[in-house]
Chains A and B, each alone.
Chain A
């Protein structure tokens, strides 16, 4: 194999070099939409926002370099701190809850039960419906006096909280709403579960392992790459909550649902403080990178890759 590859170019020197060069040029040419897009819409803007983050930039006037002013302002900005803590609490609660729920549903659907397909479809349906429509519907569902959720809670004799109206409960309403959308993760886990070879479970059974032991020692390791993937994607997603908060609460009451991205949006597009918003964007980027790296590091020993 290695010998062949080493010999091939030497043999083709005359007639081959032209072809290889042609292929290289063609490759770059066909890949150029991505290359250009990466430079224009990802790398360029990221470099620009890094620069803006060190500037006082209010759009109407050209940016003025102010060093770390935006970053030091972030440290003393109570609302920025609030938005970070709101988003962090939301992430820390909704991501593990959502993954456990998705895994539980996936495991149950993986049993041979009638109607599994229909139930799977229903669980996935929320993922294709928009944030706007969903927000409008949930705003009514969470209504304190007339909402259907408090009506159902009321049937048990407990009076439900003022979900979106009280600073204590508003974030919990968003967490509850996030659980509604676990279908996407559930489908990924279900596909993972279906890929676990039956022979492994049979071998475990013969060794006398009960289903609980088999779940922890066979199923979980086998689907760990999928679990890792959805953990990372869920964390990234939860740092980008925007539409629901913008429509349902606007960040209120008393900033209880001032998600990070909502505050960033307000800085950039309500107050046109592009410098500050850029600093916030970079901090968001760094947080997401750190979370991703931490998840990858933390799972290094736990994630099992087939054939690795």
Chain B
């Protein structure tokens, strides 16, 4: 009945107003969208420009002439493949650790009753607010004492100790799975680990994917961690490596830098397009319920 009244009130004036409103929205949104796109387009375009175009005025938007040698130049200047391998070791190691530990802990928090559980969960949520810099110094000292500096261990091992964000996400997801499933399994004599790995985990692919994607971008892009823990250039991750490029002859130029930045960003961009709904789901879960 209400909608009928509203619909009835639709006059041509109203249609005109709505159309004008939509035009106004585009007038505001499109320049902002261009502002967001510009650095990406600039990075992409510049990676195909000839050497020396960084110091040309006016700056070109479209390369002229198109040059494809910047990409091979990056490989010749720094050990790009080696750094990629190092980044993959760190990133994949951390992802495995995070998925495994967050599943175990998330299951405990979602399904099992044990004394102190609620207090522990509140502490877990609170630790999400503690920034890494606060614990950075003593953590570094401990890793130094046990001779882990200049290895990948400080970048991988902590992920096996259930990072709070991943645990939170897993717990929230497990809570949405019908409890009757694991009760039935319990009756059949399944223990907790079997319930977790054979019943809950196969149903939790969306949550696991979300964690894997977030973990990938976080570890792939991490700069401060590798900067502190890795000292020999051979062991650098890509994040350090592409910054290192600047210190080489020819690496200070716009074009090779943008080519390196492109190759470095591409995995994350591709991952984003493949797993967009997981990204959105992940942010929204933590944002709304956190």
Chain A interface residues toward B at CB < 8 A: 20, 23-31, 33-38, 40-42, 44-46, 48-49, 52, 59, 104-105, 108-109, 111, 113, 119, 121-126, 128-134, 136-138, 140-141, 143, 145-148, 151, 180, 183-184, 187-188, 191-192, 195, 202, 205-206, 225-226, 229-230, 232, 236, 239-240, 242-243, 246-247, 261, 264-265, 268-269, 274, 277-278, 281-282, 284-285, 288-289, 292
Q: Chain A nearest CB: distance from B185 CB in Å?
A: 15
**A112 CB to nearest B CB, Å:** 9
A sample of 21 cross-chain residue pairs with beta-carbon separation below 8 angstroms, ordered by A number, consists of: A23-B112, A24-B115, A31-B120, A34-B124, A52-B137, A108-B29, A124-B280, A126-B36, A131-B221, A132-B223, A133-B43, A133-B264, A133-B265, A146-B54, A146-B56, A148-B61, A151-B57, A188-B284, A240-B132, A242-B223, A278-B138
For window 227-282 of B, CB contacts with A under 8 Å fall at 227-228, 239, 242-243, 246, 254, 257-258, 260-262, 264-265, 268-269, 271-273, 276, 279-280
How far in angstroms is the closest Cβ of chain B from A116?
9
- B141 x A27 contact (CB < 8 A): no
Q: Is the CB of A52 within 8 A of B113?
A: no
A230–B283 alpha-carbon span in the complex (Å) = 11
Task: Give 13 new A-B contacts, CB below 8 A, not counting A131-B221, A136-B242, A269-B228.
Answer: A23-B112, A30-B108, A42-B135, A46-B134, A49-B135, A105-B32, A132-B261, A136-B257, A183-B36, A191-B288, A202-B2, A261-B133, A265-B224
- Cα–Cα, bound, A285→B136 (Å): 12
The minimal Cβ–Cβ distance linking B175 to chain A, given in whole angstroms, is 15
Chain B nearest CB, measured from A21 CB (Å): 10
Please give, as numbers and ranges, the residues of chain A lying within 8 Å of B242 by CB-CB distance: 132-133, 136
Query: Is B156 positioned at the interface, with any CB of A under 8 Å from its CB?
Result: no
How far, in whole Å, are A184 and B284 apart by their CA atoms in the complex? Answer: 9
Residue interface bits B216-228, CB-to-A below 8 A is 1, else 0: 0100110110011
